[in-house]
């Protein structure tokens, strides 16, 4: 591999290209390298595969929509027609007109007051929804950052991949473990787990010199790439069938082991 390709692969352009975080110039450069160099094409395919693994464990829910607030149009006020049957004095007509004007003014003021109160409440709802939307955006950014970190970890040359298959007791069992002894990280992808009776569960263990350390419960309903406790100097990984809730005293039921793999 020439120095030019090696420099390109050592950068984060491919990862950012997959996440849509490149400029137009960077996009053109990445697509050119993918088309021209088989090594880059192969690295791109591997990244796509890893991204698919990570993506299924991070379902990003859509954000809440902000409601549009529409003020109802005020109906035209009815016209009051006065048909006097008597001849009122001029001052009396003025007092009646003034009373009617006062009533109309009071009614209009009340309508504007209630309308402003309603608008204030609706504005408060909009403000709260905007804050909720900002929280959703922040959560999505955190998820994206987590996806990026997991992708980089999966693509790290120091990360070892272990495919754990079930024995005769659980032929359909399949999980994939990713362990990086340099970064001291451990993840597992639950691909498939045969169904167990309700009173039983699968438990994964790290085997050390002379003892077993529980790494947690595996569940078919929790099929996603997730972190496991990193165990220094682990010799192997084992999966056993335990009573519901798992063994709490770090005593693995080795007679009920359904899968194991030796670590490098």
- pLDDT tens digits for range 79-115: 444 444 444 445 545 555 566 666 676 667 767 777 7
Pair of tokens at residue 196: 């167990």
Dump pLDDT digits (tens) for 167-181.
988 889 999 999 998
Q: Is the pLDDT of residue 237 over 90?
A: yes
Strand order in the sheet with 185-192: 159-165, 174-180, 185-192, 225-227
The pTM for the full model equals 0.50
What mean pLDDT is reported for the chain? Answer: 77
- The residue-averaged pLDDT of 224-237 equals 87
CA distance 96 to 220: 82
Dump pLDDT digits (tens) for 100-154.
666 676 667 767 777 777 777 777 787 777 877 777 787 777 766 666 677 777 7
What integer pLDDT is reported at residue 94 of this predicted model? Answer: 53
- Residue pair 244/200 in contact (Cβ under 8 Å)? The answer is yes
b vs e for 58-74, b when ≥16 Cβ sit within 10 Å of the residue's Cβ? eeeeeeeeeeeeeeeee
DSSP states of 151-182 as a string? HHHHH-TTEEEEEEE--TT-TT-EEEEEEETT
Dump pLDDT digits (tens) for 15-32.
888 878 889 888 998 899
| pLDDT level of residue 264 (50, 70, 90 thresholds) | confident
What integer pLDDT is reported at residue 8 of this predicted model? Answer: 83
- The residue-averaged pLDDT of 36-56 equals 81
| pLDDT level of residue 241 (50, 70, 90 thresholds) | very high
């Amino acid at each position: 591999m020439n120095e030019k390709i090696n420099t390109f692969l050592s950068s984060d352009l491919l990862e950012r290209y997959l996440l849509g975080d490149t400029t137009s110039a960077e996009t053109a450069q990445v697509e050119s390298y993918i088309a021209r160099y088989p090594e880059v094409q192969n690295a791109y395919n591997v990244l796509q595969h890893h991204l698919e693994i990570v993506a299924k464990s991070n379902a990003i829910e859509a954000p809440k929509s902000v409601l549009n607030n529409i003020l109802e149009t005020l109906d035209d006020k009815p016209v009051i027609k006065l048909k006097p049957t008597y001849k009122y004095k001029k001052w009396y007509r003025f007092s009646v007109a003034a009373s009617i004007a006062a009533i109309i003014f009071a009614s209009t003021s009340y309508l504007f007051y209630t309308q402003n109160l309603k608008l204030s409440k609706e504005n408060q709802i909009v403000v709260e929804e905007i804050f909720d939307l900002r929280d959703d955006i922040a959560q999505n950014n955190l998820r994206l950052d987590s996806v990026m970190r997991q992708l980089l970890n999966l693509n790290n040359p120091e990360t070892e991949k272990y495919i754990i298959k079930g024995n005769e007791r659980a032929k359909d069992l399949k999980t994939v473990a990713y362990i990086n002894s340099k970064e001291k990280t451990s993840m597992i992808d639950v691909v498939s787990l045969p169904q167990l009776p309700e009173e039983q569960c699968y438990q994964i263990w790290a085997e050390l010199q002379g003892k077993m350390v529980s790494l947690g419960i595996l569940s078919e309903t929790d099929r996603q790439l997730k972190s496991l406790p990193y165990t220094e100097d682990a010799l192997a990984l084992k999966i056993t069938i335990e009573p519901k809730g798992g063994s709490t005293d770090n005593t693995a039921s080795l007679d009920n082991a359904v899968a194991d793999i030796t670590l490098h």
